[in-house]
Amino acid sequence: MGSEKTESEWMAVNAPGEDVGFGRKFETMVFLAGKPCDDPKCGCGMPKPDDWENKDFAGYMTAGEAQAGHLAMCKKWSKERSVHAKPTD
Residue 50 in this model has a pLDDT that exceeds 90: no
Of 13, 21, 26, the residue nearest 64 (C-alpha): 26
Number of H helices, E strands in the chain: 2, 4
Identify the H or E element spanning 59: strand 56-60
State pTM to two decimals.
Answer: 0.58
Domain residues of the chain, as ranges? 32-80
Other Cβ atoms less than 10 A from the Cβ of 65: the count is: 15
- Single-letter amino acid code for the residue at 8: S
The three-class DSSP label of residue 40 is coil
Q: What is the pLDDT, as a whole number, of residue 68?
A: 95
pLDDT band at 83 (very low <50, low <70, confident <90, very high): low
Tens of pLDDT along 70-82? 999 999 988 865 5
